[in-house]
Amino acid sequence: MAKWTIGFEENGKLYKVTKIFTYRDGGFGVAVPYHFAHKGYLFKARVDYTKREQWIPRGEVVEYAASNKVKLSLHLDGFVQFSGIKPGKITSGRDLKSGKPRGLGVQSQPLTNPIKSGPAFGITIWGLSEFEPLLEQELQEKTTIVFWEQDYYLRHCTPEDWNGYILEGFVFERGKYPYLKFEINHNRLELHYVRPFFQYEIPGTIFRLKAIPSQNPHYFISLMVSRIRVGFPSSSGFCLVGPSGEVELDRYGRVVNGTTLCAIYPAPMKDLPSQTLDYKKKKE
């Protein structure tokens, strides 16, 4: 199993933000273990991607609470779920008879035929100074990927009014995108992937992503980070969002709406939902 640590630079200091690791079934997981918050608010909801704010009626939201951090697991067959960073802490998996999620999950597209109109996952981050620092010895590891100040894009903000970041992770099929190139950046060898995107503020803008050198024969993962404006009540935290399932496409093959998973740490409200993802062992 390969594990990749993703770090950000802010004001000349380096911080650890997320960890990406592979599964034996060919899938991968995304976690944010470097923040102090452990109690979170999680939900599954229908999202309208034609609206910038993507407002969701509360009646369409299935809400949960969790006393432990979750990771987002994307399996090769397209099953996406929240599971525990530590074993035995979060209810997860599929029921053997019905095939339905035991916890919070959704069926998305297989990683062998990934969503092409947007990212496979996203992490919104704010209050970076409260994340764990990235140490010098960790910086030297080949499995550490760093986003430096000059690597950030701007999304719906200006250089003066941003207060957070969004890391977007894309899954691309192997063999169809030959534009992977190794380059030297800050005396480090990085694998870059350059391509245009048509769903951002200026359609067709060319972005430079950082690719994870994966041994998976079906796909590879590429990452980009943008500065954004956020409005969460806490001074620091993160929001982890998965790919859409049960999608509706327009005539161009773009996702119009779909069901997605979201986890926010720390929980943005005092009164958490009564439903919990905390694992409870069944009595014999």
Question: If you average pLDDT over residues 180-199, what whole number do you get?
Answer: 82
Question: If you average pLDDT over residues 124-146, what whole number do you get?
Answer: 95
Question: If you average pLDDT over residues 6-23, what whole number do you get?
Answer: 96
Q: What percent of the chain has pLDDT over 70?
A: 93
For residue 73, the number of C-alpha atoms closer than 13 Å in the C-beta half-sphere is 23
Which of 62-76, 244-258, 259-273 is the least confident region? 244-258
Does residue 147 belong to any structural domain of this protein?
yes
For residue 209, the number of C-alpha atoms closer than 13 Å in the C-beta half-sphere is 25
Which of 43-47, 91-95, 279-283 is the least confident region? 279-283
What is the structure's pLDDT at 77?
93
Does residue 152 belong to any structural domain of this protein?
yes
Does residue 271 belong to any structural domain of this protein?
no
- DSSP run (H or E) holding 195: strand 188-197
pTM passes above 0.85: yes
Total domains in the chain come to 1
Does residue 277 belong to any structural domain of this protein?
no
Residue 162's alpha-carbon distances to 126, 127, 148, 157, 166, in angstroms, are 10, 12, 16, 6, 11
Does residue 276 belong to any structural domain of this protein?
no
Does residue 131 belong to any structural domain of this protein?
yes
CA distance 55 to 51: 7
Q: DSSP secondary-structure letter at 239?
A: E
> Over 60: is that where the pLDDT of 283 sits?
no
Listed ranges 55-59, 145-149, 248-252; the one with the highest mean pLDDT: 145-149
What is the structure's pLDDT at 97?
80
Residue 201's alpha-carbon distances to 44, 96, 139, 183, 204, in angstroms, are 26, 44, 33, 27, 9
Q: How far apart are the first and last CA of the chain?
A: 34
**Confidence at 284, pLDDT banded by 50, 70, 90:** very low
Domain of residue 35, residue span: 3-265
Does residue 129 belong to any structural domain of this protein?
yes
What is the structure's pLDDT at 247?
79
> Over 50: is that where the pLDDT of 106 sits?
yes
> Over 90: is that where the pLDDT of 16 sits?
yes
**Confidence at 221, pLDDT banded by 50, 70, 90:** very high
Does residue 210 belong to any structural domain of this protein?
yes
Question: If you average pLDDT over residues 185-194, what whole number do you get?
Answer: 84
Question: If you average pLDDT over residues 253-269, what whole number do you get?
Answer: 87
> Over 90: is that where the pLDDT of 171 sits?
yes
